[in-house]
Each structure stands twice: as C-alpha cells, then as structure tokens.
Chain A
Amino acid sequence: MFGLGLRPPFYEQAIRGKVAVDWFELISENFMVDGGKPRAVLDAVCEHYPVALHGVSLNLGGTDPLDEEYLDRLGKLIDCCEPLRVSDHLCWTRHGGHHLHDLLPLPYTRDTVAHVATRIRQVQDRLKRQILIENVSSYAEYAHSEMSEWEFLNAVAEQADCLILLDINNVLVSAHNHGFDAYCYLRALPAQRVQQIHLAGHSVSGPLLIDTHDHPVSDPVWTLYQLALQHLGAVPTMIERDDAIPSLDELLAELDIARRIRAREPAA
C-alpha cells in the first residue's frame, strides 16, 4: 500500500528489487522512448514491483484536441507494464500546439467542468479504463470561478466517472495561497473515488507556498494526511521527491512515518 515515485537515483536499486516498497509510481513520459536504458529500467522494475503510471502532458483541461499520438504511446506503455493505476492532472498544459510543461490552473466554472469531464471520458474510452485525476497546486485563482476547488474536483470526477489522486501537499499549498480551509477540502471528497495519495514537500516564497518537491513532507501535511485517512480509509500512499533528492534510506524512513500514521488509524 506504500510506494515511492521512481526517480533516476533509485533506478539501480529498483532494478534489483531491493527497495522495501509495495509499488513504484513511474512518470509516463520518461518511459515513452523506443529503447535503451529507460526501457530496460521499465522492464526490470516491472519484474519486481507493481507500478502506477503518472503523466504530466495529457492536457485534460486544454482546448487543443487530445493528442492522439500521445494517447497511442500511453496505451502501449499500459500494455507493457499493466499498471495498477493511470493518472494525470486536473489542469491544462498545452495551447496552440505549444507544450508549456507546467500544470496550469483552470477556472472553476460549470462550463469547465463539462469540458474537462468530456475529455476525461474520451481518454477513458480510448484507454479502456478509469483514470485518476490529481488536484494541482495553484498560485492564482480566476475571478470568474463559480465554485470552490473541491467542488470543481468533485463535479469533474462525478461527470467523468473517473477516480481521484489526492495530493495532500497540493491541498495545503493551494489552501495557504488562496486562504481556504484544507480540512474542509478533504472532508468534501468522495471517499470511494480517491484511490491514491501523494505526499510531498514544498518551499516558501514570500507570501506564497510553492510546490517544489524539494523538501521532506512538512508537519502540516502529515496532520492533514491523518485527517484524510480518517475520512477516506486505507488509500495507497506514496512520496514524491523531484529535487534535492536524499538517500533512498531517508525517503524510506519518511514513508515509515506514513505507515505509522496509518497503523494508528482504526479505519485503516
């Protein structure tokens, strides 16, 4: 039930099946190549562990047509590693054929809900499976939003009949940046749809928190994690670390904190 995001410094240990995790999450785009080292790593890791695929370029909230070639590659990757879960983000990442390689914010309107839900349904039909959508950190909110972020997330998941990847650090970061109650957010989520949890660290930049994945999981995130488990029950959980990556032992020790919190929860 506890995993880690697979990053290059851990490839060697993961290939040999020597890491004490139940599963790894792989960034889909890193393995959309024809061969060589990335493919060898993929094959070897899949021999030892179940994996989840996590994408960053599906552009679910964009207005450009869905990228057929990208979906083809994702489909092939799914065939090749039979992932536990396939996820991407509730955001937009591309416009006018240009990829911005960032998770950009959407206005929380009824029109956007319908737009994104339709695209998610298209993806799910194409991949013949439900996908998980992740809440992103945001630094700006649109003046014409008609609902809260959690109402938006729930409405999209409901209309698309998709699952949710809850990033607790992203909830904390956005709650801080926009001044909403993170606990309120967690309590509003439909427990049956939340199938995976991300934990990560952030950094502080003046009045804003930034989702940098370059610090250990913060204490407020651990507190929220505990609250989330009370509401959601046992959900597969992992830590994302993308910068200032510590030793594997350090990350595994952090994952143990999650395990201990879970063990204390009667709901688990």
Chain B
Amino acid sequence: MSAPDLGQLQAAFKAYLFSGANEAVLAPWFAANKGIEVPHRLDVYRNAYYIRLQESLAHDFPALLAYMGGAAFGREMAAYLKACPSTSPLLRQLGERLPDYLSDHNMPLLADLARLEWAVLEAFDAADSRVLTVKALQNIPPERWQNLHFELHPSVTVLDVRTRAYEVWNAHRKQQLLPDQQNDAMAPLLIWRSPGGLSVKPVSTECHSLLVSLRNRLSFAQACEQLAVVMDIGNVAQAAARCLWELICQGCLLEQLEWG
C-alpha cells in the first residue's frame, strides 16, 4: 500500500471521525505497535470526538438536555454534528446552527429552546458598551427627538417564540417541574446582559414592536409609526415612552445616540 499524501490522509481521518464507515481505508495506514490492533487505536479518536463535542453542546444547552433527557439529546446531537460539523476554531460556536437544524427537522419547541439558550450564550460574552441613562435622555432638546436613533446594546436579542420554550427554560432554571397546563400566551422574549447579570423576560406586544424597530435601525419617530400598527394611535406616545423608559432602566440601549 503506497503512503497517502497529508491532505488525503486527513480527509480520510475526518470521514472516519464523522461516520466510521471508511475504517478499512484508514486502518492500513497505521502501525499495530505493541500488538494493539489499529481499529482499537482509532476508536479512541472517534469516541473522544463525539464525547467532547456532545459534552460541549450539553454544557451550552442545559435546559434542552434536561427537557429531552440524556438519551434523546445524545441521538439528536450526534445527528446534528453529522449534518452541521464545526466550522469555527472556537468550540463555543458549535451550537450556532442547532436552532435552525431543529427547526428544519420539525421540532419547533426544541428549536425555540435552543434559540433561547443560544441567545443567553451570546449575551454572556457580547461586547461591553456604555449604556444610555435617563439623565442623558433628559438632556436631549425636544426638537431633536424626531430624528433620534436609539441603538440596542450588543448583548440584546429579541426572540419571537411561538412555543412554550420560555416556560420550559424557566422551569429548568428554577429546578422546578414543568407545569402540565400549557400557558397559551406565548410572549416574545428579550434577552440581555447588564452589570447585574443575564436576564430573560417576556415583553409586551408594544415593547416587542419598539425593539424590532430599533433593531431594524428605524428612528424613534418611525418606531412610533410602527407602534400605531399594533395599538390605538392615541396611546402610542405614552406606550413608546413607557417601553423606552423600561429599556433604559434595564441597560438595553447604548449611550451613543445618532440623529438623522
């Protein structure tokens, strides 16, 4: 058997780690030193690959693991790793495509739960930025409000969930049993990091509308126009002010403001 070149060898080794199917191709390239069979030696790498990556996913998606149970989680993650092998040098990114994978495989609750846990991870190490204070806001002259652009803190994620993922996540966080009774109100979620720690909370339709507008980089005036779509126009100003106040108090907006 002629010696493979390095690229050929690594391609075969990778295929072996992923599925094990080509063991017969790979094994002859190795030496059975000390009488220890090559398949046994290669097994060490293949087992370590799946164990290491599954442990990483279990660490990053603890509520998903608890909800699915170890066996089902293990099966689904093995399938995910085959479908979406890691493309980042950072193990931390391994679960990035898990929410979409679960959506594509028709598991909406698991997908939402994964989306929520991923947003928590993202919030954990998002960039640090100075946040807007109420005092700074009060210094803005009234005539400038029209074109004011607020920016969300890099740790902020707005999730439009359609399942009881938040209930499941919250029950896991509080180490409680999941209530049997399904809560019909599936409110959108706001996830962010403040000096006090990570927070996840359901938000009202109005606040969700405002958050989505800000995320889409609309001006405050345009955001108010969007609000008028989901509520009575007479209440828009008051609702916008209340949501804005809440976001500022929670440290969800950047200090840096833009006009125009």
Task: Name A's B-contacting residues (CB within 8 A).
Answer: 29-30, 32-40, 57, 59, 61-63, 67, 70, 92-102, 104, 106-107, 109, 111-112, 115, 139-145, 177-179, 205-208, 210
Contacts and interface: CB of A to CB of B under 8 A. Distances in A.
Contacts of B155: 36
Contacts of B36: 177, 207-208
A107 B85 CA distance: 25
Interface stretch (B86-94, B181-189, B249-257): B86-94
A111 to B, nearest CB: 7
Given A36-B155, A100-B86, A102-B49, A208 B14 contact: no
B62 interface: no
A36 B6 contact: no
Contacts of A95: 7, 10-11, 13-14
A154 to B, nearest CB: 20
Nearest to A143: B31
Contact of A37 (B28, B87, B125): B125
B30 A141 contact: yes
A111 B42 CA distance: 23
Given A107-B6, A139-B41, A142-B31, A99 B126 contact: no
Given A35-B126, A93-B89, A139-B44, 9 more contacts: A35-B127, A36-B125, A63-B6, A102-B49, A107-B3, A112-B6, A142-B3, A143-B29, A179-B33
16 contacts: A29-B89, A29-B92, A35-B126, A63-B7, A96-B11, A98-B14, A99-B85, A101-B52, A102-B49, A115-B6, A144-B3, A144-B29, A177-B33, A179-B34, A207-B34, A208-B41
A144 B41 CA distance: 17
Interface of B: 1, 3, 6-7, 9-11, 13-14, 17, 28-31, 33-34, 36, 38, 40-42, 44-45, 48-49, 52-53, 56, 85-92, 94, 123-129, 154-155, 193
A33 B89 CA distance: 12
B44 to A, nearest CB: 4
Grouping DSSP codes into helix (H, G, I), strand (E, B) and loop, the A interface class, with mixed when no group exceeds half, is mixed
Shortest Cβ-Cβ A-B pairs, 3 listed: A57-B89, A144-B3, A33-B125
Contacts, number: 136
Nearest to A30: B92
B45 A104 contact: yes
Contacts of A93: 89
B31 A57 contact: no
Contacts of B87: 97-99
Nearest to B4: A144
A178 B45 contact: no
Contacts of A92: 10
Contacts of B52: 101-102
B29 A142 contact: yes
A229 B38 CA distance: 35
Contacts of A206: 40
Nearest to A58: B89
A143 B89 contact: no
Contact of A107 (B9, B11, B92, B124): B9
Given A36-B193, A99-B86, A208-B41, A142 B126 contact: no
B90 to A, nearest CB: 5
